[in-house]
Structure 1
Amino acid sequence: MEFLVSNNELENWMLALGACIGATATMAFARSIALRRLAERPGHTPTRVDDLIVLMLRKTYLAGLLAIGIYLGSIFLLIPESWTLVVSRLAIAALILQLALWGDTGLRGWRSQLLNTPGDGNRKASSTIVFFMLRLVVWMVGFLMMLDNFGFNITTLVASLGVGGIAVALATQSILGDLFASLSIMLDKPFEVGDFIIVGDALGAVEYIGLKTTRLRGLGGEQIVFSNGELLRSRIHNHKRMLARRVAFVLRVAYGTGEARLTAIPGIVRDIIAARTDVDFERAHFFRYGDWSLDFEVVYHFKNPDYLLHMDAQHAILLQVYRAFQQEEIQFAHPLSVVRVADTGDPAGGWPPPSAPLAAMGAKPTRH
Structure 2
Amino acid sequence: MPEETSTFLDILIVIGIAAGVFLAAKLILRIGCHHLEKVSKRTETIIDDQLLVALRNTKTLLLALFAVWMGTEWLELGRAEKWLDRGGFFVVVLQAGIWATSFLVGFIIFYGKKRSATGESGAGILWFSYLARVVVWSIAFLLIVSNLGYDVTALIAGLGIGGIAIGLAVQSILGDLFASLSIVLDKPFEVGDFIIVGDLLGVVEKIGIKTTRVRSLSGEQLVFSNNDLTSSRIRNFKRMYERRVVFGFGVIYQTTPDQLESIPGMVKSFIEEQEQTRFDRAHFKGFGESSYDFEVVYYVLDPDYNLYMNIQQAVNLAMVRAFAEHEIEFAYPTRTLYLSKSEEEESLDPAES
Task: Indicate whether the TM-score tops 0.5.
Answer: yes
Matches within 5 A, 1:237-316: 237-316=235-314
Matches within 5 A, 1:70-219: 101-102=99-100, 104-112=102-110, 114=112, 119=118, 124=122, 127-128=125-126, 131-148=129-146, 151-219=149-217
- Paired with 1:232 and 1:175, the residues of 2 have a C-alpha distance of 14
* Offset, 1:38: 6.6
- Paired with 1:52 and 1:233, the residues of 2 have a C-alpha distance of 37
What SS does the corresponding residue of 1:142 show, helix, strand or coil? helix
What SS does the corresponding residue of 1:214 show, helix, strand or coil? strand
* Offset, 1:152: 3.6
Any idea what the Cα deviations from partners look like across 1:48-94, whole Å, max 9, x if unmatched? xx3145413774799xxxxxxxxxxxxxxxxxxxxxxxx9xx99x97
Alpha-carbon spacing, 1:199–1:118, altered in 2? closer, same or farther (3 Å): closer
Please tell me whether the aligned partners of residues 253 and 294 of structure 1 are also in contact (alpha carbons under 8 angstroms): yes
- Paired with 2:290 and 2:230, the residues of 1 have a C-alpha distance of 45
- Paired with 1:58 and 1:344, the residues of 2 have a C-alpha distance of 102
* Offset, 1:137: 2.8
Q: Are 2:226 and 1:228 equivalent residues in the alignment?
A: yes
Please tell me whether the aligned partners of residues 197 and 206 of structure 1 are also in contact (alpha carbons under 8 angstroms): yes
Any idea what the Cα deviations from partners look like across 1:302-357, whole Å, max 9, x if unmatched? 11111111111111111111111112111111111111113679xxxxxxxxxxxx
What SS does the corresponding residue of 2:46 show, helix, strand or coil? helix
Please tell me whether the aligned partners of residues 127 and 181 of structure 2 are also in contact (alpha carbons under 8 angstroms): no
Higher helix proportion (structure 1 or 2): 2
- Paired with 1:106 and 1:326, the residues of 2 have a C-alpha distance of 71
Identity score, percent:
42
Q: Are 2:50 and 1:51 equivalent residues in the alignment?
A: no
Please tell me whether the aligned partners of residues 60 and 98 of structure 1 are also in contact (alpha carbons under 8 angstroms): no
Q: Which runs of 5+ in 2 are unaligned?
A: 1-32, 59-84, 344-353
- Paired with 1:149 and 1:36, the residues of 2 have a C-alpha distance of 38
Any idea what the Cα deviations from partners look like across 1:137-168, whole Å, max 9, x if unmatched? 32222331354367542223223322222222
* Offset, 1:217: 3.2
What SS does the corresponding residue of 1:226 show, helix, strand or coil? strand
One-letter amino acid of the structure 2 residue matched with residue 263 of structure 1:
E
Please tell me whether the aligned partners of residues 97 and 137 of structure 2 are also in contact (alpha carbons under 8 angstroms): no
One-letter amino acid of the structure 1 residue matched with residue 180 of structure 2:
S
Matches within 5 A, 1:353-368: none
Please tell me whether the aligned partners of residues 206 and 212 of structure 2 are also in contact (alpha carbons under 8 angstroms): yes
What SS does the corresponding residue of 2:118 show, helix, strand or coil? coil
Alpha-carbon spacing, 1:128–1:268, altered in 2? closer, same or farther (3 Å): same
- Paired with 2:52 and 2:213, the residues of 1 have a C-alpha distance of 41
* Offset, 1:284: 0.1
- Paired with 1:316 and 1:104, the residues of 2 have a C-alpha distance of 59
Which residue number in structure 2 is paired with residue 5 of structure 1? none
Alpha-carbon spacing, 1:102–1:230, altered in 2? closer, same or farther (3 Å): same
- Paired with 1:107 and 1:313, the residues of 2 have a C-alpha distance of 49
- Paired with 2:47 and 2:177, the residues of 1 have a C-alpha distance of 25
- Paired with 2:100 and 2:38, the residues of 1 have a C-alpha distance of 18
What SS does the corresponding residue of 2:328 show, helix, strand or coil? coil
What SS does the corresponding residue of 2:254 show, helix, strand or coil? coil
Please tell me whether the aligned partners of residues 59 and 102 of structure 1 are also in contact (alpha carbons under 8 angstroms): yes
* Offset, 1:120: 6.6
Alpha-carbon spacing, 1:34–1:217, altered in 2? closer, same or farther (3 Å): closer
- Paired with 2:220 and 2:92, the residues of 1 have a C-alpha distance of 56
Please tell me whether the aligned partners of residues 93 and 140 of structure 2 are also in contact (alpha carbons under 8 angstroms): no
What SS does the corresponding residue of 1:308 show, helix, strand or coil? helix
Tell me the TM-score normalised to structure 1 length.
Answer: 0.66
Which residue number in structure 2 is paired with residue 40 of structure 1? 42
- Paired with 1:225 and 1:296, the residues of 2 have a C-alpha distance of 42
CA RMSD in angstroms, aligned pairs only: 3.9
Please tell me whether the aligned partners of residues 252 and 330 of structure 2 are also in contact (alpha carbons under 8 angstroms): yes
